[in-house]
Chain A
Amino acid sequence: SAVISQKPSRDICQRGTSLTIQCQVDSQVTMMFWYRQQPGQSLTLIATANQGSEATYESGFVIDKFPISRPNLTFSTLTVSNMSPEDSSIYLCSVYRGTYGYTFGSGTRLTVV
């Protein structure tokens, strides 16, 4: 299966600032996904990022708050903009490679103070 390098693994940020999370995949994948896990909750899908097209956002998530880039088939970034303490969560990327199934990053633990 694919290997995903997700960075940073954790960060503590001031409110009002932005953080960009990166996911690098060791093989080309069409479909990448970004999730958020608030404390004690499930992993909620933020958006699907396909190379060559705009990201598709789930209900409750908007591009201005969570801009996503997908410049090529091995890389994607998620930015958490104008952060507030409510954005303190684990953020996780995932890829789908058809018959090879799903692979997940290791997560980014974000604390906003």
Chain B
Amino acid sequence: AQTVTQSQPEMSVQEAETVTLSCTYDTSENNYYLFWYKQPPSRQMILVIRQEAYKQQNATENRFSVNFQKAAKSFSLKISDSQLGDTAMYFCAFMICEYIFGTGTRLKVLA
């Protein structure tokens, strides 16, 4: 069975600094999708970044980038130049036919 593990329940970072959120997963499949979602207090789930497993190149969206290590089954999210608005829960998710979410990392950006 597929699993997703986020080992950091909480993290904090100073404004303008860089932070990396870790995510590991387990699967025997070769083709799948990985996501990072941001959940602000409104409880919306905002798609931050998406990675297709067949693509070797790491996905990037502005200040957000991932380090996708397929062999190691690792999918970490790097946030550069952290902003106060980045404060939120962050969920890592895996999908083939169904979603599997990690337990989330609560990130706090400090002024």
Interface, chain A (partner B; CB < 8 A): 1, 9-10, 33, 35, 41-45, 48, 90, 92, 101-107, 109
B99 at the interface (CB under 8 A from A): yes
B71 at the interface (CB under 8 A from A): no
Chain B interface secondary structure, helix, strand, loop or mixed?
strand
In whole angstroms, how far apart are the Cα atoms of A48 and B43 in the complex? 10
Chain B: interface residue total (CB-CB under 8 A)? 20
Chain A interface secondary structure, helix, strand, loop or mixed?
strand
In whole angstroms, how far apart are the Cα atoms of A103 and B95 in the complex? 15
Contact A92/B47 with A42-B37, A102-B89, A102-B104 known, Cβ cut-off 8 Å: no
B101 at the interface (CB under 8 A from A): yes
Closest B residue to A43 by CB, please name it. B45
In whole angstroms, how far apart are the Cα atoms of A109 and B99 in the complex? 10
Closest A residue to B6 by CB, please name it. A101
In whole angstroms, how far apart are the Cα atoms of A42 and B47 in the complex? 5
Other-chain contact of B99, A10, A33, A42, A104 (Cβ < 8 Å): A104
Complex contact A92–B97 (CB within 8 A)? no
